[in-house]
C-alpha cells in the first residue's frame, strides 16, 4: 500500500510538472527539466528518510549524484540575467540576491556529493537533512508559489 501511495504521488507530481512545463521554452524549460530531475531524485530520498521505503544505498547514491549533477555551476547557468518568465516559478529575488542564490546552489552540490559518498545507512539522515536544508532555503527565498 505504501509503495502504491508513493507511485500515485510520483505520478501526480510528474503530471503537475508536465502541465507546468507546457509552453516553456529555452533556458526556462531547461531549468524546469533540471528541477524535475532534482525533485524526482529527492522524492526517492524523502521516502527513505521517512521510512516509507527501505534504505537502499544504490538508490541513495544514484539520487544524490543526480542532484549534484544538476546543482552548483550547472544550476547557475540555467538562470541567466533576464530569464524570468511567466511559465517559471523563479522569483526576481534570484538576480537581486545572486550571492545568496549562488551560495545555496553550490551548497546543494556540496551536500549532494557528500550524500552520494556515504557507505551505510548510519550516515544517511544527517547528510540528507543537510542537503534538504539547501533545497528548502532556496525554495523559501527564490521560488514563487503558483
CATH number at residue 41: 1.20.120.10
Proportion of the chain above pLDDT 70, given as a percent: 84
Extract the C-alpha cell encoding 23: 509552453
Q: What's the domain range around 100?
A: 2-142
Extract the C-alpha cell encoding 117: 559518498
Q: Distance between CA 26 and CA 71 in Å, rounded?
A: 18
Q: How many residues does the chain have?
A: 146
How many domains are contained in the chain? 1
Q: In this predicted model, what pLDDT tens digit does every residue of 124-141 receive, in sequence order?
A: 999 999 999 999 999 999
pLDDT at 6 over 70: no
Cβ neighbours of residue 92 closer than 8 Å, sequence gap 6 or more: 84
Mean of all residue pLDDT scores within the chain: 87
Q: Distance between CA 100 and CA 137 in Å, rounded?
A: 10
Higher-confidence residue of 84 and 56: namely: 56
pLDDT computed for residue 146 by the predictor: 64
pLDDT computed for residue 82 by the predictor: 85
Q: In this predicted model, what pLDDT tens digit does every residue of 10-41 receive, in sequence order?
A: 444 444 444 445 677 889 999 999 999 999 99
Extract the C-alpha cell encoding 88: 517559471
Mean pLDDT computed over 70-81? 96
pLDDT computed for residue 21 by the predictor: 56
Amino acid at each position: 500500500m505504501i509503495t502504491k501511495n508513493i507511485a500515485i504521488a510520483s505520478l501526480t507530481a510528474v503530471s503537475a510538472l508536465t502541465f507546468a512545463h507546457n509552453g516553456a521554452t529555452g533556458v526556462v524549460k531547461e531549468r524546469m527539466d533540471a528541477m524535475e530531475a532534482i525533485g524526482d531524485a529527492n522524492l526517492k530520498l524523502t521516502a527513505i528518510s521517512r521510512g516509507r521505503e527501505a534504505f537502499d544505498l544504490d538508490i541513495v547514491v544514484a539520487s544524490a549524484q543526480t542532484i549534484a549533477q544538476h546543482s552548483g555551476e550547472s544550476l547557475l547557468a540555467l538562470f541567466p540575467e533576464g530569464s524570468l518568465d511567466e511559465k517559471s516559478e523563479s522569483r526576481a529575488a534570484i538576480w537581486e540576491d545572486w550571492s545568496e542564490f549562488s551560495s545555496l546552489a553550490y551548497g546543494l552540490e556540496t551536500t549532494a556529493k557528500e550524500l552520494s559518498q556515504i557507505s551505510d545507512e548510519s550516515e544517511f539522515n544527517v547528510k540528507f537533512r543537510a542537503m534538504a536544508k539547501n533545497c528548502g532555503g532556496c525554495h523559501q527565498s527564490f521560488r514563487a508559489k503558483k
